[in-house]
Structure 1
């Protein structure tokens, strides 16, 4: 199976234990999912579609992708731009973020329709997010959605995490319209109920699932923090309990790693229920460590009886 993730990978400056020192890393919502998927499903070919610059930090990023087992065949290069950057600040253990992404090369990832179509033809499962849509202007967003629509019609599985981030949008109305357009071209939608309740006024995870089903998606998996995960697939719907986390350290990549777990077990042919249980275990391991990309041992995660 081949998975193509689409979006923006950013340079990360994270504080070390030494005052004033920062460590360079790389992260971003869809990239985090690709990174965890490459670890948990080595039999899956994981590719990333984005645009980087032609400078030292962009080269370090693509080197990191390759070293992480992610195929960079669809990483384009913009000669006059660079990658987005964010800095993590700590105040008595609380993390805050400062972003510099206005000139990010990734904003041009949908500029070449031929390149988009070629990349999507290569993937069996294609994954994007609300942040992927947010960094694009309206014309580029329409181009990406059109390419995804064609890929779905050609038999590709399209997966979408709404990942609602209102600060990245001109207005909440623009965000909500674009998110529903993203859902309309997708087979699988993986929303987080806490965000959906705030911005779409959903009264329950069931309401969230029904809204995305009405948009045209076929399968909805609603993440809900420590509460059970609801999944709806056609007429079938059920919940998977979430085991408690012993020590919650950092939720930065909770949803990203969860999505990777779902994709990993989908690639293995597991049921949705087993895939969600595996995804919960992976996410639980991730949030007990500091950072977006942390060491995980796939062998320690539960496997369904048919694996």
Structure 2
């Protein structure tokens, strides 16, 4: 993957399929890292759903495959997807509670508490396979990998994607608290890195997987495990990106930070939108960081994004 060249995607009816968690985010009304806030506001959440909706707003075709509960929160999430123009055709329902994350509003790194239910009941199906085969790229995170049966669903989807020229993006957002008890989730996540075309760890993700180290050393560890393009985000310090042959530094574009929830998802959506529109890799990365900077000005993981071309003009790219 040369930084000056556009990525190659096979011609498919859909641009991006995100697979994994669709859940409710309860975000504290006050900036508070101690969970002493008396008020929490409900937001639709889940990294794959955030990315799918953002990507559609930015101007590409996107779909989501997920599982929600047969409850009021599940109805709320499906209504939210429909209202934002996203198909609910690939969202399954399960006789479990819709999954939820309670999180502190933060200008740094949000602190989450996880309540798992329906999200990991996502099963592989002919409908899901059809959506996958009709997409140019597939995206997933650690959430569906952390529990069975959704793990088998992702493993099978990876095999099908690789066999049919579907590009794969992986967010290695490992959290010990979401993993199956008694299992070495770190080793499992490391085993997945070589199967993805794009990997975007945050500095916190890297530390949870490898322990403390310098950003340059962390980047090298991902590459040594077979990752092809590594985008290591460093918060206010920007990002380091390497294709294994060349490493580039990117400064942050954020000028105002109201809430960091969903900033990584905003980057992913901007990057996918730009790459799938045919921008060269380096420009697609810059547009990803611009979309993230735009999102940081607002609360909640999903905000009212303009088209990608408007973001490009606003951030003078």
Q: Give the TM-score normalised by structure 2.
A: 0.81
Work out whether 1:107 is the aligned partner of 2:116.
no
Equivalent residue for 2:294, pick from 261, 285, 307: 285
Equivalent residue for 2:131, pick from 119, 132, 139: 119
CA contact (8 A) 2:175 2:208 kept: no
Q: How far did 1:266 drift? A: 0.5
CA contact (8 A) 1:46 1:69 kept: no
CA contact (8 A) 2:16 2:61 kept: yes
Matches within 5 A, 1:227-306: 227-243=237-253, 245-298=254-307, 300-302=310-312
Change (3 A) 1:20 1:210: closer
SS of the equivalent of 1:144 reads helix
Q: Take 2:241 and 2:96, find their aligned partners in 1: how far apart are those partners?
A: 41
Q: Take 1:200 and 1:7, find their aligned partners in 2: how far apart are those partners?
A: 24
Work out whether 1:10 is the aligned partner of 2:23.
yes
Which stretches in structure 1 are left out of the alignment for 5+ residues?
Answer: none
Work out whether 1:59 is the aligned partner of 2:99.
no
SS of the equivalent of 1:164 reads coil
Q: Which moved more, 1:182-191 or 1:199-208?
A: 199-208
SS of the equivalent of 2:237 reads coil
Aligned pair count?
A: 293
Deviation per CA, 1:116-158: give whole Å up to 9, x if none: 4333212210000112312x22x64244223212311221100
Work out whether 1:217 is the aligned partner of 2:256.
no
Q: How far did 1:287 drift? A: 1.5
Give the equivalent residue in structure 1 for 2:52: 34
SS of the equivalent of 2:25 reads strand
Give the equivalent residue in structure 2 for 1:182: 192
Deviation per CA, 1:26-54: give whole Å up to 9, x if none: 111221122211111x2x22111111233
Q: Which moved more, 1:206-215 or 1:263-272?
A: 206-215
Equivalent residue for 1:147, pick from 157, 179, 182: 157
Matches within 5 A, 1:160-199: 160-170=170-180, 174-199=184-209
Q: Which moved more, 1:286-295 or 1:163-172?
A: 163-172
CA contact (8 A) 1:145 1:185 kept: no
SS of the equivalent of 1:26 reads strand
SS of the equivalent of 2:257 reads coil
Equivalent residue for 1:128, pick from 140, 152, 170: 140
Change (3 A) 1:291 1:147: closer
Q: How far did 1:20 drift? A: 6.7
Tell which has more relative contact order, 1 or 2 (C-alpha 8 A, sep 6+).
Answer: 2
Instruction: Report the RMSD for the aligned CA atoms in angstroms.
Output: 3.0
SS of the equivalent of 1:4 reads strand
Change (3 A) 1:106 1:176: same
Q: Take 1:219 and 1:16, find their aligned partners in 2: how far apart are those partners?
A: 37
Q: Take 2:25 and 2:248, find their aligned partners in 1: how far apart are those partners?
A: 38
Q: Give the TM-score normalised by structure 1.
A: 0.83
Change (3 A) 1:127 1:96: closer
